Amino acid sequence: MADSPFDDAFAGLGGASAQRRAAYDRFRSLGLPSRRQEDWKYTDLAGLDRARLAPAATGPAVSAPVAGLDGPLLVLTNGRVDADASRMGDLPAGLEIVTDGEPASTGADNALAALNAAFAPQAVHVRVADGAAIDRPLQLLYRVTDADACAAHVRVRVALGARAALTLVERFEGDASAYWQNQVLDVAGETGSTLIHALFQAEGPRSVHSGLTRVALAGGARYRRFDLQTGAEIARNEVHVAATEAGAHADIRVAQMARAGQSLDTRSYLDHRVADTTSDQGARAVVDAQGRTAFQGKVHVARDAQRTDAQQQSKAILLDETAEANTKPELEIYADDVVCAHGATVGQLDAAALFYLVQRGLPLAEAKALLIEAFVADLFGDLDDDTLRDAFVAAAQVWFGKEPS
Amino acid sequence: MAATAETREQVDEATGDYKYGFVTEIESDFAPKGLNEDIVRFISEKKGEPQWMLDWRLKAYRAWLKMTEPQWAMLDIPPIDYQDAYYYAAPKQQGDGPKSLDEVDPELLRTYEKLGIPLEEQKVLAGVEGAPKVAVDAVFDSVSVATTFRAELEKAGVIFMSISEAIREYPDLVRKYLGSVVPIRDNFFACLNSAVFSDGTFVYIPEGVRCPMELSTYFRINAENTGQFERTLIVADAGSYVSYLEGCTAPQRDENQLHAAVVELVALDDAEIKYSTVQNWYPGDKDGKGGIYNFVTKRGLCKGKRSKISWTQVETGSAITWKYPSCVLQGDESVGEFYSVAVTNNRQQADTGTKMIHQGRNTRSRIISKGISAGRSNNTYRGLVRVQAGASGVRNFTQCDSLLMGDQCGAHTVPYIESRNPGAQIEHEATTSKISEDQMFYCLQRGLDEEAAVEMVVNGFAKEVMQQLPMEFAVEAQKLLGISLEGSVG
Amino acid sequence: MLKIDDLHVSVDGTEIIKGLSLEVKPGEVHAIMGPNGAGKSTLASTLAGRDAYEVTAGSVHYAGKDLLALAPHERAGEGIFLGFQYPVEIPGVSNLNFLRTALNAQRRYRGEPELNGADFMKLAKDKAKDLEMSLDMLKRFVNVGFSGGEKKRNEMVQMAVLDPKLAILDETDSGLDIDALKTVSQGINALRGSDRAILLITHYQRLLDYVVPDHVHVLADGRIVRSGGKDLAHELEAQGYAAAVA
């Protein structure tokens, strides 16, 4: 096997555990994903081979929780828990958060997960006890600073007991250094549990962001993801949901806003393994000059997974001649008694609506901003938490340069 | 609607000495198994081809050596030994084919019966040893069609001949367009075809001419074996129109398992080409034994302004189908259409769809795909809609529906939508459904038997596509859908 | 015409019809009434030969034949029409095409010549007109996008064209407003004749104001518990099933 630019970095860890070594070997045999792979045709990670190698050092503490949200806050700076910046006192009953120095090696077939398992300095375990409905959101802030040519690997595991409920808010951000942040999030939802997962990807402008979320849902468990992607130069997110028992349900809402050399790619894999499970995916992309997005939404219905109901809608709006939007809504179905459908549209802002607003006196730029805001906000409409919903809209407003209202 | 001996004679009479005759005269000697430069040279020499054609074939062969089979389709393709095949007029192997109809898959015979194909014809289709080498297909219900056919085409100036002949008679025309839509290196199978294509069809419709009849491979009387690496080139000059029909509804056996055809269409300003296919190559038996591997590259270039290319296909045959009839919409305001019904049953696999590449301004495309899976088969729609940066005012609509019959089959949808122009409007919809027990019972209660009920519901599902077929195809194709799915419900 | 003797029917292993006997003679109209879950629709589906309705005991004879030995489409060919409680949608198939295919399939079954396009169109148009259904609706896909009332009217058009000997109408009156109910009743009455019979399955008495039955039976828990004349329907309406059955 040829040398990998990651070899030195791995050697630099010094005395890595057998587990880390196994994960690294796994990564070496898989190699970095390339555009020749069907699922990676819209994202080019070749640059990672050349730079962003060293594990990120601990950086200065910064905290920037989502405005208006109280509740516990855990900050990870450059991949490590930053206790000073965190706000972890007084955890609600039933919520437990533990940090582990040795992340479990579960790279499986995913090269980036294997690399994460080899390098992640810590793993954060979030546990919600059976029957505990946590009423305040848990915020996780992943921040990278002063980390040119560094990689920050973060690993989080969320386990929800039977009938447990949690709102998890994640925010990724960083400065203008050229770093790579690579997250793996594993979620296990026991019977009847609910996880509401709000995700803000607002990484620094020269960064690479990759995220892999793996969710396993037991009977009647729900996973609801609300995901806004505005940051990073290259972002690649994967969401795998396995519905393993009847009644499991997943909602996936992804909004991507890209411009100026940004490439944002999200791939979902909704795996309906047994009968009577449901999913609903909605994606929105807004692409301005020199931006590129891809949404690859896949639904897999296993043999005998009868009465699966899987819906998917994706919409993209191009704002400029140099923008590019890609959509690949995919169905792979092996059971006959199913309701599976998808719809996709790509176009521009509705000219009639735009004219209507301009006629009523709005300047063109403002009218556009309003329509874009509505287009994105629509996706987060069924998020019950007002503060969170407002935070999404505000983040979208920041993207198109409007002062958040 | 079977050909009688009489009509066959009359057809021979009508077309036999026609100057654009369709009997390909190839001596019956053959090349050994395997593929190398000598074989390519042999094929070219046998056909009396000019040097440029040989060079073109050799270039393709050398490129092919460096290529690999595409892996991205949702197909499970057994390894193919390309050296274990004949590339030129394979000799009849004693004891290889069935010796009489008694040895033919009884399912196949039942299908022939249902389609009303006479015994002699059945032998040809099933490849029974000693059967005549020439098959006239089943559509000649009127002799006048065949006789007026010749006179009318001549009068209109339409060129319609085998491509081997065209290479000799119209070298400039062929050379100008051959490989202009599907380049030699386009893909593994097209490249192989470019090196070894056996024969095929060339059509040229002169400027302003509306071809006076549907052109059909039915009319072409071929030596057997051309089905394997068929090459078709159709050029519609400015303002012309042609409708071309390919295939036949009767399931056809072929001793060659591997088929790799290439079809290229070129439409100049204001020209329109309508290309309809019924593909019903032998799908193999219930357990998937035998059956054709059908790896086809079909692409149309809307080169001229306001040109239009429309593909309609009814795919029911072959063990494996890999096929994406596409349109490159280069001319401003050009239009591409793709209407497809793909049926898979038993162990069949199909990965089929289209590509609509929008390059010109105000180009439009429409994709209607109906996939029907039954038995233990897998049926995939794969389609690309791409809008290039300069192509403003583009419109695309895609509707892609799957029907599952039974719980052991698979129905898959893989659309790719890639837009680089804000003025483009693309809409895509896909659904999945099944024939419900309610629908079946409703039809049965009104007096339809199970077969008729399935045929009716399935044809309803596929209606939008079926109504695109030329009339003479449509009736048989409808019947074919029912037959292909027999036994898959209840 | 129809003779049901000690019929037992199970669905998914659960016995629904538990020993039902009934005789219908040509020219008669029988109404079968009963509370929800009594087995009314099961009886209709069984007579039409639907899968999953398993006859575990008893016999059914129709026009001298063993009805249970016939496939569903053969029963239709023998002249049995089932009006569906929930008529089924068949996208892409026009009413005209459906009806003509069905009619000719039945005629073939009976050894009668098929109807050509022109004769069929005339027949279909006439029958549709009687039932206030437009040609446009005939051209639309079978029941697709039809309102509940339109679906039921469409059933009556099909019945009129197919001209059955025995019509089994399963809750044909459910979900109809008063105008639609009158139209549907006309359709049923038009079919009455000395050589035909009608089995009306209904939960409510109101249809019987327009289609007056010769016999009324009360079906409860898989058996006919009472039989009587048309007055029995009024009694049921006034007192409820529980009282009538007790």
Q: Write out pLDDT tens, residues C39-67.
A: 999 999 999 998 889 999 999 999 999 99
Confidence bin at B252 (pLDDT 50/70/90)? low
Number of compact structural domains in chain B: 1
pLDDT > 70? residue B147: no
Lowest mean pLDDT, pick from A244-253, A349-358, B253-262, C158-167: B253-262
pLDDT > 50? residue B21: no
Q: What pLDDT score does B341 carry? A: 96
Confidence bin at A149 (pLDDT 50/70/90)? confident
Q: Tell me which of B221 and B313 has the higher pLDDT.
A: B313
Q: What pLDDT score does B255 carry? A: 60
The question of ipTM being above 0.95 is answered as no
Distance from CA of B437 to the nearest CA of C (A): 9
Confidence bin at B154 (pLDDT 50/70/90)? confident
Spatial distance between the Cα atoms of B208 and B238, rounded to a whole number of angstroms: 6
Do the domain assignments include residue B448?
A: no
Q: What pLDDT score does C5 carry? A: 95
Spatial distance between the Cα atoms of B59 and B37, rounded to a whole number of angstroms: 10
pLDDT > 50? residue B135: no
Q: Report the candidate in B41, B36, B127 with the shortest Cα–Cα distance to residue B82.
A: B36
* Token pair of B92 as six digits: 């009849």
Confidence bin at A109 (pLDDT 50/70/90)? confident
A321 touches chain B (CB under 8 A): yes
Confidence bin at B153 (pLDDT 50/70/90)? confident
Lowest mean pLDDT, pick from A127-131, A381-385, B108-112, C17-21: B108-112
Do the domain assignments include residue B82?
A: yes
Q: Write down the pTM of the prediction.
A: 0.85
Quickly list DSSP for B404-446.
Answer: EESSS-EEEEEEEEEE--TT-EEEEEEEEEE--HHHHHHHHHT
Kindly list the partner chains of chain A, i.e. chains with 3 or more CB atom pairs below 8 Å: B
* Token pair of A275 as six digits: 């009968």
Q: What pLDDT score does B113 carry? A: 67
Confidence bin at B12 (pLDDT 50/70/90)? very low
Residue with tokens 């030129």: B88
Spatial distance between the Cα atoms of A154 and B329, rounded to a whole number of angstroms: 47
Residue B182: burial class (beta carbons within 10 Å; 0-12, 13-18, 19+)? buried
Residue numbers in A near B422 (CB within 8 A)? 317-321, 323, 347-348
Confidence bin at B482 (pLDDT 50/70/90)? confident
Which of residues 471 through 490 in chain B touch C, CB cutoff 8 A? 490
Average pLDDT, chain C: 90
Spatial distance between the Cα atoms of A81 and A74, rounded to a whole number of angstroms: 7
Confidence bin at B214 (pLDDT 50/70/90)? confident
By C-alpha distance, the chain A residue nearest B397 is A345
Confidence bin at C236 (pLDDT 50/70/90)? confident
Q: What pLDDT score does A84 carry? A: 86
Q: Report the candidate in B467, B377, B305, B375 with the shortest Cα–Cα distance to residue B74.
A: B377
Q: What pLDDT score does B18 carry? A: 26
Of C72, C89, C91, the CB nearest to B441: C72
C30 with C200: CB under 8 angstroms? yes
Q: Report the candidate in A253, A127, A104, A280 with the shortest Cα–Cα distance to residue A193.
A: A127
Query: In which domain, by residue range, is B136 found?
Result: 21-93+106-323
Confidence bin at A57 (pLDDT 50/70/90)? low
Which of residues 61 through 120 in chain A touch B, CB cutoff 8 A? none
B373 with A336: CB under 8 angstroms? no
Residue numbers in B near C50 (CB within 8 A)? 441
Residue numbers in B near A322 (CB within 8 A)? 389, 420
**Per-residue pLDDT reduced to its tens digit, A174-213:** 988 889 999 999 999 999 999 999 999 999 999 999 999 9
The pLDDT of A319-340, averaged and rounded, is 94
Q: What pLDDT score does A168 carry? A: 97
Lowest mean pLDDT, pick from A243-247, A292-296, B5-9: B5-9
pLDDT > 80? residue A105: no
**Per-residue pLDDT reduced to its tens digit, C75-104:** 999 999 999 999 988 888 889 988 998 999
Lowest mean pLDDT, pick from A163-167, A278-282, A380-384, C242-246: C242-246
Q: What pLDDT score does B228 carry? A: 79
Q: Tell me which of A268 and B146 has the higher pLDDT.
A: A268
Do the domain assignments include residue B134?
A: yes
**Does the beta-carbon distance from C51 to B437 stay under 8 Å?**
yes
Confidence bin at B478 (pLDDT 50/70/90)? confident
* Token pair of C120 as six digits: 């069929």
**Does the beta-carbon distance from B490 to C92 stay under 8 Å?**
no
Spatial distance between the Cα atoms of A189 and A195, rounded to a whole number of angstroms: 8
* Token pair of C167 as six digits: 């019509």
The pLDDT of C143-169, averaged and rounded, is 92
**Does the beta-carbon distance from B402 to A316 stay under 8 Å?**
no
Quickly list DSSP for B294-315.
Answer: EEEEEEEEE-STT-EEEEEEEE
pLDDT > 80? residue A34: yes
Spatial distance between the Cα atoms of B363 and B27, rounded to a whole number of angstroms: 47
pLDDT > 90? residue A276: yes
**Per-residue pLDDT reduced to its tens digit, C109-155:** 999 999 998 999 999 999 998 888 888 889 899 999 998 888 999 99
pLDDT > 90? residue A16: no
Phi, psi of A310 (to 5 degrees): -130, 115
Residue numbers in B near A38 (CB within 8 A)? 72
Q: Tell me which of C34 and A356 has the higher pLDDT.
A: C34
Q: Tell me which of C137 and B234 has the higher pLDDT.
A: B234
Which of residues 358 through 387 in chain B touch A, CB cutoff 8 A? 387
Q: What pLDDT score does C240 carry? A: 79
Average pLDDT, chain A: 89
Q: What pLDDT score does B90 carry? A: 47
* Token pair of B276 as six digits: 């309809």
Spatial distance between the Cα atoms of B379 and B346, rounded to a whole number of angstroms: 11
Write down the domain spans for chain C.
2-245
Q: Tell me which of C220 and B479 has the higher pLDDT.
A: C220
Confidence bin at A405 (pLDDT 50/70/90)? low
The pLDDT of A43-62, averaged and rounded, is 67
**Does the beta-carbon distance from A326 to B430 stay under 8 Å?**
no
The pLDDT of B16-23, averaged and rounded, is 30
Distance from CA of B479 to the nearest CA of C (A): 13
C13 with C53: CB under 8 angstroms? no
Beta strands in C28-165 (DSSP E): 29-33, 53-62, 65-66, 80-83, 90-94, 141-142
Confidence bin at B130 (pLDDT 50/70/90)? low
Q: Tell me which of B34 and B21 has the higher pLDDT.
A: B34
User: How many CB atoms lie under 10 A from the CB of residue B20?
Assistant: 17
In residues, how long is chain B? Answer: 490
Q: Radius of gyration over alpha carbons of chain B, in Å? A: 22
Distance from CA of C160 to the nearest CA of B (A): 12
Confidence bin at B19 (pLDDT 50/70/90)? very low
Do the domain assignments include residue B218?
A: yes
A75 with A394: CB under 8 angstroms? no
Of C89, C101, C103, the CB nearest to B452: C101
Kindly provide the b/e burial profile for residues A149-187, where b requires at least 16 CB atoms within 10 angstroms of the residue's own CB.
ebbbbbbbbbbbbbbbbbbbbbbbbbbebbbbbbbbbbb
User: How many CB atoms lie under 10 A from the CB of residue C136?
Assistant: 7
**Options 3.20.10.10, 3.40.50.300, 3.40.190.10, 3.40.1440.60; CATH of C2-245:** 3.40.50.300
Of C48, C105, C158, the CB nearest to B448: C105
Q: What pLDDT score does A170 carry? A: 96
- The β-bridge relationship of strands A339-347 and B425-434 is antiparallel
Do the domain assignments include residue B51?
A: yes
Residue numbers in B near C71 (CB within 8 A)? 444, 449
Confidence bin at A366 (pLDDT 50/70/90)? confident
Average pLDDT, chain B: 82
Do the domain assignments include residue B434?
A: no
Do the domain assignments include residue B486?
A: no
**Per-residue pLDDT reduced to its tens digit, B302-338:** 999 999 999 999 999 899 999 999 999 999 999 999 9
Confidence bin at B78 (pLDDT 50/70/90)? confident
3-state secondary structure (DSSP) of residue B447: coil
Spatial distance between the Cα atoms of B326 and B303, rounded to a whole number of angstroms: 13
Instruction: Name, in order, each residue with C-beta under 8 angstroms of C181's C-beta and a sequence gap of 6 or more.
Output: C173, C206, C207, C210
pLDDT > 80? residue A281: yes
Do the domain assignments include residue B297?
A: yes
